Amino acid sequence: MLHKAGIAGSTLMVVRDGRVIARDVEGYQDLDAKRPVDAETIYHWASITKTFTGIAIMQLRDRGRLSLDDPVVKYVPELRLAHDPFGDISQVKIRHLMSHSAGFRASTWPWGGDRPWHPFEPTTWEQIVAMMPYTDVAFEPGTKYSYSNPGVIFLGRIIQLLSGDDYEVYVTKNILMPLGMHGSFFDRAPYHLLPHRSHSYFRDDGGLREARFDFDTGITVSNGGLNSPFTDMEKYLAFLIGDERRREPYDLVLKRSSLEEMWTPQIAARAGEGTNGTDSHAALSFFVERYGGVELIGHSGDQNGFISHLYLHRATRTAYLVSFNTDVTASKDGGRPGTRQVDAALRELVIRHVLD
């Protein structure tokens, strides 16, 4: 199905009890150079980065630096410039940002980014602040679900202000390094890892085009700036699943009870807005989705030609991760499936043959 869709390259991995039980690579990480996907290929993880942002917030909560029910304006006073027709902006809590129930718009930037010379995303916090007077709260916070990237930028700002480190530095020191994810980085690649970074592509009825390579997510890094090889993401999945043999280093990152708190449903979520299951809920920087009788905890990523999914099945202590480096739009004649159709078919196969 990958070949029928015209996806350039992909990797799939299944982990159970901290060990890889299945892995497969297909296609190319660089079509022009005919460089195949291999174990060292580095993918862009887009919004799966949000799970790292949530873990960082929970770390700060556990250290007594914040409460999830703190008003966001306590740390981001610039938010008072936004328009809230439902009352005082202090109604917006950190918990609402983590569960996409704060009422902010979906897109980071309401225009731009479509010219080669444009930054990929806004580059500085000051640009976000300049948009505050043009930002409104769409519904009473906590009453509805609406996927929001700006909300996660506010979380990244809180992490930076409370830790004294840039977001990337904080996450590297407090999540990536303790987990041994030494081949992972944010935004542009270190020189020694650049040859392993996958290119990405878009395919539609007009043909194939390459997306920006080695791009910078700017101030939106807490939304989607992570790049990592599957060898590193294997360590992240093992941490999420839990491994009694490595309890101590994992607890240094985040205690198990706090991680499982992140998987507590907060509000019903709509399929197609950051989630895929028809019975889905936003939790705290994760989603809880049901497919038939199977509950999966996860998050997806979709940016600049990369599409990926991370899913945990707690009952069998199994997780699977897949990334595609080509965003394919299904053909109008139905002859070419899109990447999302390929992903859905793969998910059904994993549920049927691995999780049952």
Three-class DSSP labels, the chain: CHHHHCCCEEEEEEEECCEEEEEEEEEEEECCCCEECCCCCEEECHHHHHHHHHHHHHHHHHCCCCCCCCEHHHCCHHHHHCECCCCCHHHCEHHHHHCCCCCCCCCCCCCCCCCCCCCCCCCCHHHHHHHHHHCECCCCCCCCCCCCHHHHHHHHHHHHHHHCCCHHHHHHHHHHCCCCCCCCEECCCCHHHHHHECCCEEEECCEEEECCCCCCCHHHHHHHCEEEEHHHHHHHHHHHHCCHHHHHHHHHHCCHHHHHHCCCCCEEECCCCCCCCCEEEECCCCEEEEECCEEEEEEEEEECCEEEEEEEEHHHCEEEEEEECEEECCCCCCCCCCHHHHHHHHHHHHHHHHHC
Supply the pLDDT for residue 271.
Answer: 67
Site of tokens 């542009």 = 188
Supply the pLDDT for residue 114.
Answer: 73
Extents of the domains making up the chain: 2-355
The dihedral region occupied by 217, where left means phi > 0, alpha psi between -120 and 50, and beta the remainder, is alpha
Supply the pLDDT for residue 204.
Answer: 92
Supply the pLDDT for residue 112.
Answer: 64
pLDDT tens, per residue, the chain with 356 residues = 778 889 999 999 999 988 899 999 999 999 999 999 999 999 999 999 999 999 999 999 999 999 999 999 999 999 999 999 999 999 999 999 999 999 999 887 766 667 777 788 889 999 999 999 999 999 999 999 999 999 999 999 999 999 999 999 999 999 999 999 999 999 999 999 999 999 999 999 889 999 999 999 999 999 999 999 999 999 999 999 987 666 677 889 999 999 999 999 999 987 666 677 678 999 999 999 998 889 999 999 999 999 999 999 999 999 999 999 999 999 888 888 889 888 988 888 888 888 86
pTM of the model: 0.96
Q: Amino acid identity, residue 278?
A: T
Supply the pLDDT for residue 274.
Answer: 67
- Residues 146 and 152: beta-carbon distance below 8 Å: no
Pairing verdict, β 318-324 and 306-313: antiparallel
The distance between the two most distant Cα atoms of the chain, rounded to a whole number of Å, is: 57
**What's the CATH superfamily of 2-355?**
DD-peptidase/beta-lactamase superfamily (3.40.710.10)
Supply the pLDDT for residue 106.
Answer: 87
